[in-house]
């Protein structure tokens, strides 16, 4: 269910930015949904490999920036593949990548997907250790 929500949010952000930015062109919501799916697919495959290589080069110091740049590259790749989607330039692709990342972060926070908390307390209860007294 989370994947579908993330896909719809990404498509909504892409469609909204097509109205706000004159250099982003999307024909319809269905095109934006297809573009969001392809960006997610390419980020999970090609982007994962490319991001890993770039993060190794940067010693994982600028991981968030590398992630935004890789997502922008995947947006430009989808731009070349989908006929009803056009991004004029690399800066609008970076703006789309940042806006999508922020929107997905906010949606994840609203759904309660705070990874740090869930790793510390998997059952929403802190671990208590009892020490036997002799």
pLDDT digits (tens, 9 = 90+) for 109-126: 888 875 554 455 555 555
**Residue 26 covered by a domain:** yes
Q: What is d(CA 131, CA 8) in angstroms, rounded to the nearest whole number? A: 50
Q: In this model, does residue 23 exceed pLDDT 70? A: yes
**Residue 85 covered by a domain:** yes
pLDDT tens digits, one per residue of 42-52: 999 998 888 88
**Residue 55 covered by a domain:** yes
Look over the chain and give the mean of its residue pLDDT values, rounded to a whole number: 86
**Residue 120 covered by a domain:** no
Domain that holds residue 94: 1-111
**Residue 10 covered by a domain:** yes
In the chain, the number of structural domains is 1
**Residue 98 covered by a domain:** yes
**Residue 134 covered by a domain:** no
């Amino acid at each position: 269910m989370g994947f579908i929500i993330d896909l719809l949010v990404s498509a909504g952000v892409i469609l909204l930015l097509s109205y706000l930015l004159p250099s982003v062109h999307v024909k319809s919501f269905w095109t934006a949904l297809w573009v969001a799916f392809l960006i997610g697919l390419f980020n999970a495959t090609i982007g994962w490999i490319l991001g890993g290589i770039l993060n190794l080069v940067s010693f994982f110091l600028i991981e968030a920036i590398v992630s935004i740049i890789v997502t922008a590259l995947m947006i430009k790749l989808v731009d070349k593949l989908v006929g009803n989607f056009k991004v004029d330039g690399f800066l609008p692709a970076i703006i789309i990548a940042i806006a999508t990342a922020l929107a997905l972060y906010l949606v994840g926070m609203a759904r309660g997907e705070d990874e740090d908390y869930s790793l510390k307390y998997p059952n929403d209860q802190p671990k208590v250790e009892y020490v036997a007294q002799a």
